[in-house]
Amino acid sequence: MKLLLTTLNSKYVHSNLALKYLYNAVTGGDFQVDLKEFTLNNEADYVYGEILKPGYDMVCFSCYIWNIEKTKELCANLKAAQPSLKILLGGPEVSFDCADFMEENPWCDYIIRGEGERSIFEFCKNVTLGKPLEGIAGLVLRGAAGRIIDNGLPCVIDLNRLQFPYARLPLDGDKVVYYETSRGCPFRCSYCLSSIDKGIRSLSMDRVKHEFKYFNDRKVKQVKLLDRTFNYDRDRAAEIWKYLIENDNGVTNFHFEICGDLLRDEDFALLEKARPELFRFEIGIQTVNGQVLQAVGRNDNTLKLFENIRRLIKTGNIELHVDLIAGLPGEDMRSFANSFNEVYGTGADEIQLGFLKLLRGTEIRDEADEFGYVFRHKAPYEVISTAGMSAEELVSLKEIERVLDVFYNRGGFGRALSFLMEGTNLSPFDFYEDLARFYHENGYQHRYHKKEDNYRILYGYALAKELMFPIEYKDFTEATMNILKVDLEETMNFDAVKKFYKKGWMFNGK
């Protein structure tokens, strides 16, 4: 048997960790296994050709909300071209409602649900030996007369029994290296698939240190941990951070998703010693509305969380990314604006304004009617409207997300944004709402703009504000320009700045 493990990643710098585990699980048997990763940006014909031409007997796709629609199209074409080709799907996007999925997609021969390492091993072994597949835990298949047989989710796997995912595969230096030291999450957020996992499992400390050494020795640029809540066990997390601080190679940085309110004094004392840029933390705040948090099953200690976030920012050596989710149950625009203002006030390096997705298999999807959810029925199942937010309001939040990303998250406008917010006397939310309105009314959303043009756009906004209503600053536009100059000169190189001034401050491009 000739087997291909493959997926469509969302960006070139991303890679798929799950496929590497599967590769290790099936390599060494009586069949040939290849692993090829593509991206959503690759031309469909190119991907189709690369999969079809080598004459595989079976292709296994790793499926997520970002790639499922394109994967379905690709699979239908592959099956039409080579009807004998067996198509096996795995991943969170196909692990629920499997029978419906197979009914709707006749080209799909098999699905592996949940953690796939043991199931794919059993599956490949039985296929090679010509043994029946019916009893394999985690496998969904078509039985006699097309009847769909679902063997249910497999038992959870002891991570220590799995091989290091990069043991047999080269590290791709120009991509983010994905890694995990634990699976599962102790929390039960109703919108999250990780809340379904039974319990949390971790790799032994010896293995974790050994594997981090592997990355450090090879001086990879960035290791992104997929652990759902890295510091669920605070002592364990601290021991790993200590190891990484003491064995810092000066190059590699590590990205962790953590629970902010679990940080302790001793963690801060340790983290202060980290080289700037050694660690990047992502903290999901989602909302500060207590009732909303309760409705989705979160018990965050918001006071402690914000105290710790401010403390982390004060240490100045850890890049901090925080998340907010729009469309949670019971949240309206006013409540969301309040969360936004609180979160913005922390000064985190990046604020991700995300939108609730009603993922298959989650509790919130079952509660959709109760909370008045209208959502897209194709992946990524994003919310369209809720009992508290109209579709128009959610669209305006999307517009805010765009300007927040352009002007705040990408950096380079810090002083000007603070000055404009103060000058217009608007709260952070109202300011970004106003800026988003200006941006979209002028049609700037229709195409990508170079960084320098974004300085001109922000200058144009100041000009419009001064004309619209009296602002307490004298010569507001000129003062904005002077501040923008400081931001600009700090961000762009000398030649680019010279070119910018030569061209001037007015921007008419849409």
Beta bridge partners of 322: 283, 351
Q: Which of 23, 166, 187, 439 binds ligand SF4 (CB under 6 A)?
A: 187
- Verify binding: residue 195, ligand SF4, rule CB under 6 A: yes
Q: Does 362 bind ligand SF4 (CB under 6 A)?
A: no
CA 150 to each of CA 113, 120, 126: distance values in angstroms, whole numbers, following the listed order: 9, 15, 17
- SS3 for 133-161 is CCCCCCEEEECHHHCEEECCCCCCCCHHH
- Please state, in angstroms and rounded to a whole number, the distance separating the CA atoms of residues 36 and 81: 20
Total residues at the site for ligand SF4 (CB under 6 A)? 9
443 backbone φψ class: left, alpha, beta (φ>0; ψ -120 to 50) = left
The residues with which 139 forms a beta bridge, in sequence order, are 112
Nearest distance in Å: CB 48, ligand SF4: 35
Positions 199 through 228 that interact with ligand SF4 (CB under 6 A): 228
Sheet holding 148-150, edge to edge: 32-39, 2-9, 58-62, 86-90, 110-112, 139-142, 148-150
The nearer residue to ligand SF4, 102 or 263, going by C-beta atoms, is 263
3-state secondary structure 183-217: ECCCCCCCCCHHHHCCCCEECCHHHHHHHHHHHHH
Least Cβ distance, residue 228 to ligand SF4 (angstroms): 4
CB 297 to ligand SF4: min, Å? 8
Residue type present at position 450: K
Cβ at position 296, least distance to ligand SF4 in Å: 8
Taking CB under 6 A as the criterion, the residue among 35, 124, 192, 404 binding ligand SF4 is: 192
Out of 185, 283, 351, 400, point to the residue binding ligand SF4 (CB under 6 A): 185
For ligand SF4, give the closer residue by CB, 154 or 284: 284
456 touches ligand SF4 (CB under 6 A): no
Query: Min. distance of Cβ 87 from ligand SF4 in angstroms?
Result: 30
Residue 189 within binding range of ligand SF4, rule CB under 6 A: yes
CB 452 to ligand SF4: min, Å: 38
Min separation Cβ 348 and ligand SF4, Å: 17
260 in contact with ligand SF4 (CB under 6 A) = no
Q: Residue 406's closest CA among 336, 442, 441, 453?
A: 453
Residue 423 corresponds to which amino acid? G
Residue 6 in contact with residue 38, Cβ under 8 Å?
yes
Q: Which is nearer to ligand SF4, 125 or 236 (CB)?
A: 236
- State yes or no: residue 58 binds ligand SF4 (CB under 6 A): no
User: How far, in whole angstroms, is CA 71 from its chain's centroid?
Assistant: 19
> Is residue 229 a contact residue for ligand SF4 (CB under 6 A)?
yes
Least distance from C-beta 258 to ligand SF4, angstroms? 10
Q: What would the x/- binding string for ligand SF4 be over residues 270 to 289, using CB under 6 A?
A: --------------x-----
End-to-end CA separation in angstroms for the chain: 54
Stretch that binds ligand SF4, among 189-197, 357-365, 416-424, 470-478 (CB under 6 A): 189-197
Smallest distance from the beta carbon of 192 to ligand SF4, in angstroms?
Answer: 3
Pick the stretch among 2-10, 35-43, 186-194, 434-442 that binds ligand SF4 (CB under 6 A). Answer: 186-194
Query: Quick one: tokens of 484?
Result: 């923008």
Burial 49-86 (b: 16+ CB within 10 A, else e): eebbeeebebbbbbbbbbbbebbbebbebbbeeeeebb
Q: Which residues bind ligand SF4 (CB under 6 A)?
A: 185, 187, 189, 192, 194-195, 228-229, 284
